[in-house]
């Protein structure tokens, strides 16, 4: 049956089912597309003969909302959705966002904070003994004790707070089928302790073979040094070939035990996953509300790979998808692209071909396929490993095939190009193809910063590598006669970024001659190296002390420096320059960021020409005033009075 999975009891009965095997609760709206984790897991279970009912965005205030299908035969599956709910709900300044792209019409408020905990507790109140399995990025990144930025404290494993039985962490295709088969064979959920890619609770440690004991929860809660040590051990045990079981002691509550990660998918397995019978769109029940905005971003995009060996400190991919590259075959991707051209809404433009990093199409070295990634070395940082295979030839061939599909006008690359990997490839073919065929006027790249000190803590290459890339990019554009630009992403307030480094970034922005419309302040999400540094002030892998800009006002100053041209930021920019002892950047020279304030005849401060504080010869302020609303760099709503500059005679 090529249709949506049931979302009501009637739809379940229409299929001839009296009961489902699994009830899948998700914090997202129901979109049956391969870019949504809930669609992949539910369709995969279906392909293995299991009956799945979907409950999207249940009303967590009513028990009836999770009783749509009654009690499932095997268990409940619970996910917060494609995004961490806290990131979905709040900005880095902890202000409520105005739009939820994974809800119908972008409406906020259709899911609670931490749905994995809220939904699971609601299920447990209603069904006392039915197995509950958590999955998705929210649960994956909270599978052990973790620092919670929103409450500013260390919290225990989400497994304990939720009352669930298991976590299927990472990309769960392997583990969820093993869990389903185990439950189906009659194994009690408390005895399912052996599946890679899972976390479980236990009263003893006897179930773990050759485990590593982490510092206890009490220790990591009370000691930042213990927290950093625990994170270091976890980070070095994220590879399926070398990782060992990890044990976290919760005293009288027993133990939380993490099995090693599941093995990466083979190319054939990846192809099978993306060949499942997805409907490719949102459920029709959302049509009247305008659909699901998140689908618009990826509807005409193609997933080419998973995993990332880039190793950025602020990214959670190491803990979720892993560092080993997994790719789909050309045939699988081309088949999906050809099907895409049959969509009446398709205008001839494939928006993206990629993954976490678009131009990764193979493991960084062949050793990873049998022995895993290195525990104490990165593939690209601080410089490319001598064993790195930097080769874009397969990706170039794939892009060429996609361009030739009838009905395809243009194939864009928007999911991010790793410029240091491009520079490591001695063959210029990819950069040439990129410039000629795959950019829509602007190439978005992520150098993140210009200070080598900050880049060191970010796990990014030195600034010189980015400058070399820009030169190569400009050369290729000149050859083609095109005027295409590189638009960089920068981040403020990352651990290691002092005010001196923030000013250095502002000077670079000044020399570029553009003002970023948006500034990304570092967001401490669970299970990243950077978040560990943010909380502890310690680099967990080297144990060195790290300066961390934590004060909200200091973070606002760092953001303001990157948008120094905005008059509303003047006082913050001035404060930052004073803190960095860079008052040489206040003046009238071409290198100055802001102008000095002039004083009027009576010694008071007056604005520059056209400035709201300027007075006319009679001492009256020029023009009429009006109030406008806006937001300052702390994210707070503000009102300010501005005055027009129309000259009027004094009356």
Query: Residues annotated in the binding site, as ranges?
Result: 308, 312, 315
In whole angstroms, give the CA distance from residue 26 to residue 29: 7
Of the chain, the end-to-end C-alpha distance in Å amounts to 81
Distance of CA 12 to CAs 46, 114, 278, 279, 569, Å? 13, 28, 18, 18, 57
CA-based torsion, 288, 294, 297, 298: positive or negative: negative
What own/partner pairs with CB < 8 Å and gap ≥ 24 does 438-442 have? 438/399, 438/411, 438/412, 438/413, 439/412, 439/413, 439/484, 440/410, 440/412, 441/483, 441/484, 441/485, 442/484, 442/485, 442/486, 442/487
CB 55 within 8 A of CB 65: yes
CB 206 within 8 A of CB 182: no
Distance of CA 191 to CAs 177, 195, 204, 230, 551, Å? 16, 10, 12, 26, 47
Contacts of 150 (CB under 8 A, 6+ apart): 86, 90, 94
Residues 401-436 as b/e (b if ≥16 CB within 10 A, e otherwise) read ebeeeeebeebbbbbbbbbbbbbbbeeeebbebbbe
CB 623 within 8 A of CB 646: yes
In whole angstroms, give the CA distance from residue 591 to residue 594: 9
Q: What is the DSSP letter of 90?
A: B
In whole angstroms, give the CA distance from residue 403 to residue 338: 11
CB 594 within 8 A of CB 585: yes
Helix (H) or strand (E) holding 86, with range, is: helix 85-89
Feature table: binding site for [4Fe-4S] cluster: 308, 312, 315
Number of helices (H) and strands (E) in the chain: give both, helices first. Answer: 23, 26
Burial (CB < 10 A; 0-12, 13-18, 19+), residue 186, is exposed
In whole angstroms, give the CA distance from residue 190 to residue 475: 61
Map tokens 């992520």 to a residue: 446
Map tokens 């491009």 to a residue: 422
Distance of CA 375 to CAs 119, 170, 316, 319, 456, Å? 36, 18, 16, 13, 18
78 has which bridge partners?
25, 134
In whole angstroms, give the CA distance from residue 515 to residue 11: 53
DSSP 606-637: E--TT-TT-B-TTSPBSS-EEEEEEE-TTS-E
């Amino acid at each position: 049956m090529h249709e949506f999975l049931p979302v009501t009891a009637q739809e379940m009965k229409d299929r001839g089912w009296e009961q489902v095997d699994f009830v899948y609760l998700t914090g997202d709206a129901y979109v049956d597309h391969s870019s949504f984790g809930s669609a992949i897991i539910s369709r995969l279970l279906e392909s293995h003969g299991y009956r799945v009912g979907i409950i999207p965005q249940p009303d967590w205030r009513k028990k009836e909302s999770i009783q749509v299908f009654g009690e499932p035969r095997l268990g409940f599956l619970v996910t917060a959705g494609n995004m961490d709910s806290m990131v979905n709900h709040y900005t880095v300044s902890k202000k409520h966002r105005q739009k939820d792209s994974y809800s119908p019409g972008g409406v906020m408020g259709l899911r609670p904070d931490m749905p994995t905990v809220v939904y699971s507790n609601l299920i447990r109140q209603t069904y006392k003994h039915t197995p509950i399995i958590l999955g998705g990025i929210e649960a994956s990144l909270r599978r052990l004790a973790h620092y919670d930025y929103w409450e500013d404290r260390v919290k225990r494993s989400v497994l304990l707070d939720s009352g669930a039985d298991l976590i299927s962490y990472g990309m769960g295709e392997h583990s969820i089928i093993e869990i389903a088969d185990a439950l189906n064979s009659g194994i009690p959920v408390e005895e399912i302790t052996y599946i890679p890619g899972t976390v479980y609770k236990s009263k003893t440690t006897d179930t773990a073979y050759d485990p590593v004991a982490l510092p206890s929860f009490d220790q990591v809660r009370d000691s930042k040094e213990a927290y950093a040590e625990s994170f270091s051990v976890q980070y070095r045990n994220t590879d399926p070939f070398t990782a060992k079981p990890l044990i976290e002691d919760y005293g009288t509550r027993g133990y939380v035990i993490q099995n090693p990660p599941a093995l990466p998918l083979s190319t054939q397995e990846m192809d099978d996953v993306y060949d499942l019978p997805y409907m490719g769109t949102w459920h029709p029940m959302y049509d009247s509300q305008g659909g699901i905005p998140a689908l618009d971003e990826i509807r005409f995009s193609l997933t080419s790979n998973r995993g990332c060996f880039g190793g950025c400190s602020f990214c959670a991919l190491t803990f979720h998808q892993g560092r080993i590259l997994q790719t789909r075959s050309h045939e699988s991707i081309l088949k999906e692209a050809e099907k895409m051209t049959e969509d009446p809404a398709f205008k001839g433009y494939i928006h993206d071909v990629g993954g976490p990093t678009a131009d990764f199409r193979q493991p960084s070295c062949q050793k990873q396929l049998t022995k895993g990634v290195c525990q104490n070395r990165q593939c690209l940082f601080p410089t490319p490993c001598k064993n790195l295979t930097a080769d874009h030839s397969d990706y170039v061939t794939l892009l060429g095939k996609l361009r030739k599909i009838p009905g395809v006008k243009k194939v864009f690359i928007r999911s991010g190009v790793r410029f240091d990997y491009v520079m490591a490839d001695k063959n210029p073919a990819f950069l040439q193809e990129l410039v000629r065929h795959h950019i829509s006027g602007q190439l978005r790249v992520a150098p993140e910063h210009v200070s080598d000190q900050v880049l060191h803590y970010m796990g990014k290459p030195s600034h010189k590598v980015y400058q070399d890339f820009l030169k190569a990019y400009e050369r290729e554009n000149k050859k083609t006669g095109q005027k295409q630009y590189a638009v960089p992403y920068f981040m403020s307030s990352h651990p290691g970024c002092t005010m001196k480094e923030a000013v250095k970034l502002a000077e670079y922005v000044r020399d570029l001659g553009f003002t970023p419309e948006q500034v990304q302040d570092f967001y401490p999400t669970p299970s990243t190296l950077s978040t560990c540094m943010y909380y502890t002030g310690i680099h967990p892998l080297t144990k060195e002390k790290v300066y961390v800009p934590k004060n909200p006002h200091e973070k606002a100053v760092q953001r303001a420096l990157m948008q120094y041209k905005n008059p509303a930021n003047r006082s913050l920019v001035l404060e930052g320059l004073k803190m960095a002892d860079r008052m040489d950047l206040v003046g009238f020279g071409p290198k100055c960021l802001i102008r000095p304030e002039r004083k009027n005849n009576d010694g008071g401060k007056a604005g520059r020409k056209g400035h709201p504080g300027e007075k006319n010869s009679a001492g009256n302020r020029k023009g009429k005033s009006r109030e406008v609303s806006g937001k300052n760099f702390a994210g707070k709503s503000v009102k300010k009075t501005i005055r027009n500059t129309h000259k009027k005679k004094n009356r």
